[in-house]
Chains A and B, each alone.
Chain A
Amino acid sequence: MLEISNARKTFFKGMPDEKVALDGLSLKLNRGDFVVVIGSNGAGKSTMMNAISGALLVDSGRIVINGDDVTTMPVHARARHVARVFQDPMKGTAASMTIAENMLLADLRQNPARLRRGLTPQRREKYREHLSYLGLGLENRFDTQVSLLSGGQRQSLSLVMAVSGEPDVLLLDEHTAALDPRTADLVLNATLRAVNALKLTTMMVTHNMAHAVEYGNRVIMLDSGKVLLELSGEEKARATVRDLIGHFSVKTDRMVLGV
């Protein structure tokens, strides 16, 4: 479903503070894979997500989604394939527009805008139903401006918008990190329900090792723009938080030793 081959991205190329964010990264996701991505700060997780969504173009390498080579496509051209929930709840929704209008915008990802009425009664009905899965009552505040929602509600809305239309790839970059524990749980549970129900091919970045152990069928650890560790199937099922944390310390030891 998603294949990254030998992706490279260097920031500030040729300058003293040159930073290699993706260092020949290769990765393949099969349809329905739920991959949890872990790695220390600056490992290149967000850069990888940006490269997939098109927010950043890679310097070299190739990215193919569902058979389409998207390597040089801008964000809006890839939107058909990729949906994304950002860490910042403000980023994923249009604050000055209503919940219904935001849902319509998400609909336009799969069906590019045309000169026809946007919020038809049929669509409103459909969106209402999708929102009701959250159990937050957002479906009853359909014509409320999104700016009046709490961060958690906005993030929940972003999630519903992202999974609507069943994107080829769903990208979640620490999408619960800015929420209080209770709301984070709520959003995470909604995520898992949607991903399971729709069998979405998903990549979720998290710093929570318990989540990495518990969720998904694969876990990958990035380090300095490369895949340092990959567990799937049985291995993934057997992995413990201690195992994963162990890999972080191996990395730190290596840094201390300078090898």
Chain B
Amino acid sequence: MIDIFNAWVAMIPATLAQSLILSFVVMAVMLPFRILSFPDLTSEGSYPLGGCVCAMTLVAGAPPLVALLAAAAAGFLAGCLTAFIHLRFRIHTLLAGILITTMLYSINLRIMGKANTPLFQETKIFGWLADVGLTDSWVKIVLVGAMILLLALALNLWFLTEHGTAMRAVGANAEMAEAQGINVWGVTIGGVGLAGACAAFGGGLMAQSQSFADVNMGLGVLINALAALMIGEGLIGRKTIQRQIAAVVVGAVVYYQLISVCLAVGLPPGDLKIATGVFVLIMLAAPSLGLKRAGAQPKECFKE
């Protein structure tokens, strides 16, 4: 028992750093799904796209932050494309995302010219804090933590603006939003693009964190992100926009710790997908099993 505990604690810095990077992808899943009512799978493709673009930009000699921004820009385009083919050709959002993800695999291969690119020589963004005297993992935690915090705060402010409110209206009732003068196409394309940018930024961070990019690095990232989102929403709820955004980060952190515990207990890595599936199932089944979910209050009934 003590061994298991120690094994888990020893992994905390590494898994925490990982989970903060993943939280960008969780954000990328949450934004279209919860805010725009546009369930989207593009993250599975825009995440490795971000990794590949970031790697090639670094190799070309660009500074690490520029490489991350280039990754985000590429992800933005991918998201926009998914939204556009859904709107223009009336293809289901999930199918549109699968199409773009499939095509992105080839594009990612083209971008790198090979299946993976090592980045051991290049300066990474984590070099910024190289001299502070922190371990590698803690450098990542501080830097990525600050970035995701910044993103969460920025999104919080955004949804308090007129534009942000308009964006939420598109997800809540597109027909009504349009009747209030909101350009539903523009908002949807921009919103799903923003999500793509988040996922690709996360991919770029991951490439810099693990010092290589791989065309297959997106494999399964979507279901991980979804699991994290479900766990976060189960714990924090999604009654307000603040909770919805906090659920992203909390979910990512808790999910990775759960996985880490599974590993510490001695679960073979191959069985982790079952664990992930069970976590999602538990979170989704909790309400129907009568387990009260924090934050999700029962519907009140008002009399006129």
Contacts and interface: CB of A to CB of B under 8 A. Distances in A.
B162 interface: yes
Nearest to A90: B173
Contacts of B169: 94, 97, 101, 105
A79 B162 contact: no
Given A76-B181, A79-B181, A91-B175, A101 B165 contact: yes
Interface string B183-200: 110000000000000000
Contact of B176 (A91, A112, A183): A91
Given A94-B177, A119-B160, A150-B304, A113 B165 contact: yes
Nearest to B167: A113
Contacts of A53: 179
A95 interface: yes
Nearest to A98: B240
Given A76-B181, A116-B162, A95 B302 contact: no
A56 to B, nearest CB: 13
Contacts of B182: 76, 79, 105, 108, 113
Contacts of A84: 179
Given A76-B183, A116-B161, A150-B304, A92 B299 contact: no
B39 to A, nearest CB: 16
Interface string B125-141: 00000000000000000
Contacts of A144: 302
Contacts, number: 103
Given A105-B165, A149-B302, A95 B179 contact: no
B159 to A, nearest CB: 9
Contacts of B13: none
Contacts of A75: 178-179
A72 interface: no
B118 interface: no
A79, A83, A116, A161 pick with most chain B CB within 10 angstroms: A79
Contacts of B181: 76-77, 79-80, 108-110, 112
Nearest to A53: B179
Given A148-B299, A150-B304, A115 B168 contact: no
A79 B163 contact: no
B179 A79 contact: yes
A114 B179 contact: no
A117 interface: yes
B180 A79 contact: yes
B302 A105 contact: no
Contacts of B103: none
11 contacts: A76-B178, A79-B180, A91-B173, A91-B176, A94-B168, A97-B168, A104-B162, A105-B177, A110-B181, A112-B181, A113-B163
Given A97-B165, A109-B181, A148-B299, 9 more contacts: A94-B177, A96-B168, A105-B182, A108-B165, A108-B181, A109-B179, A148-B300, A148-B302, A161-B180
Interface of A: 53, 74-77, 79-80, 83-84, 91-97, 101, 104-106, 108-110, 112-119, 136, 141, 144, 148-150, 152-153, 161, 183
Interface of B: 160-166, 168-169, 171-173, 175-184, 299-302, 304
